């Protein structure tokens, strides 16, 4: 089945097209776009380049190389807060893949990013666990709600997925259009509740 779009850092995600409901190559979930930090556009692009290299290495299971790029990003561009949060999430995943005991994600961003990485790895039940924690921390965050719905749909939790998606759409009506085209919700295409929820509205 084609991978879906929970967006934020996925194993083969790129930084191009970051957005709260955007996807990378293969439909993987991507991080929401962060505005350039205090270092300006040039430094932000340098940080993005390191992040992209890390993601590419991660996708190839070259965790040592990925960890090196992530460590450099945090050392040289730690003031780019949004990217730094994602880098820490990937470091957790590198440790996990290497059999190390990773630090527990604690902040909203860490928990959300970790859940999305799990989603992109196809570990949907675990993704639901962390994305639910993210929603518990910020119950009205559209991105967290949408990602939770996508993971629940993949995990077979259809009723819960529709409920979470409804909340995401209430928080941001643009999610309706995204969900209509999102492969993550393929299992819900014939569900009456989902069909009604994503149906175009009269303007």
d(CA 71, CA 117): 18
> Going by C-beta distance under 8 Å and a sequence separation of 6 or more, which residues neighbour residue 17?
23, 24, 30
Q: What is the C-alpha separation between 179 and 150, in angstroms, rounded?
A: 9
Structurally, at CATH architecture level, domain 25-198 sits in Alpha Horseshoe (1.25)
**Could you list the pLDDT tens digit for every one of the 203 residues in the chain?**
333 446 543 322 322 222 233 334 333 444 444 444 444 688 888 889 999 999 999 989 898 899 889 888 887 887 887 788 888 888 888 887 877 766 678 889 889 988 988 887 788 999 999 999 999 999 999 999 999 999 999 999 999 999 999 999 999 999 999 999 999 999 999 999 999 999 987 65
Identify whether the C-beta of residue 17 lies closer than 8 Å to the C-beta of residue 23: yes
d(CA 35, CA 81): 10
Rounded Cα distance between 135 and 121, Å, is 20
- Delimit the domains of the chain by residue range: 25-198
H-type helices in 38-123, by residue range?
Answer: 40-59, 63-77, 81-97, 108-120
Q: How many CA atoms lie less than 13 Å away from 83 in the CB half-sphere? A: 32
């Amino acid at each position: 089945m084609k991978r879906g779009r929970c967006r934020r850092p996925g194993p083969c995600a790129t930084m191009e097209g970051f957005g709260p409901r955007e996807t990378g190559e293969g439909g993987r979930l991507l991080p929401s776009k962060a505005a350039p930090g205090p270092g300006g556009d040039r430094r932000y692009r340098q940080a993005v380049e390191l992040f992209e290299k890390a993601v590419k290495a991660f996708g190839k299971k070259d965790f040592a190389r990925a960890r090196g790029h992530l460590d450099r990003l945090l050392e040289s561009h730690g003031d780019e807060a949004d990217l730094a949060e994602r880098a820490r999430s990937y470091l957790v995943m590198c440790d996990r893949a290497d059999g190390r005991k990773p630090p527990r994600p604690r902040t909203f961003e860490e928990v959300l990013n970790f859940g999305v990485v799990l989603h992109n790895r196809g570990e949907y039940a675990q993704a639901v666990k962390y994305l639910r924690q993210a929603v518990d921390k910020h119950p009205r965050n559209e991105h967290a709600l949408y990602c939770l719905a996508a993971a629940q749909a993949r995990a077979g939790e259809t009723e819960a997925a529709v409920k979470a998606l409804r909340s995401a759409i209430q928080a941001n009506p643009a999610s309706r259009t995204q969900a209509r085209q999102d492969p993550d919700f393929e299992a819900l295409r014939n569900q009456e509740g989902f069909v009604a929820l994503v149906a175009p509205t009269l303007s």
